[in-house]
């Protein structure tokens, strides 16, 4: 079940402020790269790099329409991110009661 070994990827996608801002922009519906570029004050190649990371994390998906690429929040991807976070922070059933010393 070693999910945590490689699943830092999902959270890595979320730990950059530009990428969080992109996510925020996409909450109001899909946008093409050129619109995102106008809002973000970063170089086009930088935006492309961020979109690649977001897409590879699964949280964002894209579709092509002619020469444009539209990005949108993936329902499936964000659901699995939420499940992963819930798992990571959930305390297991069988555990020593708090306050029990595990040190000598």
Partner DNA sequence: TGAACATATCGAATAAATTCGATATGAGGA
Partner DNA sequence: TCCTCATATCGAATTTATTCGATATGTTCA
Binding site for DNA (CB under 7 A): 12, 15-16, 18-19, 32-34, 37, 42-53, 62, 64, 66-69, 103-104
State the Cα–Cα distance between residues 37 and 21, nearest whole angstrom: 11
Q: Which of 7, 53, 55, 62 binds a second copy (CB under 8 A)?
A: 7
Please tell me whether residue 54 binds a second copy under the rule CB under 8 A: no
Angle at 15 between CA 13 and CA 18, to 5 degrees: 85
Nearer to DNA, 15 or 94 (CB): 15
Residue 24, number of CB atoms within 10 A of its CB? 10
């Amino acid at each position: 079940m070693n999910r945590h070994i490689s699943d830092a990827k999902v959270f890595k996608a979320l730990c950059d402020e530009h990428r969080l801002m992109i996510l925020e922009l996409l909450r109001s519906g899909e946008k093409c790269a050129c619109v995102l570029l106008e809002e973000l004050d970063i170089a086009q190649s930088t935006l492309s790099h961020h979109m690649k990371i977001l897409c590879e994390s699964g949280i964002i998906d894209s579709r092509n329409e002619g020469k444009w690429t539209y990005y949108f929040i993936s329902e499936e991807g964000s659901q699995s991110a939420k499940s992963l976070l819930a798992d990571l922070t959930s305390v297991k059933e069988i555990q020593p009661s708090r306050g029990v010393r595990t040190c000598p």
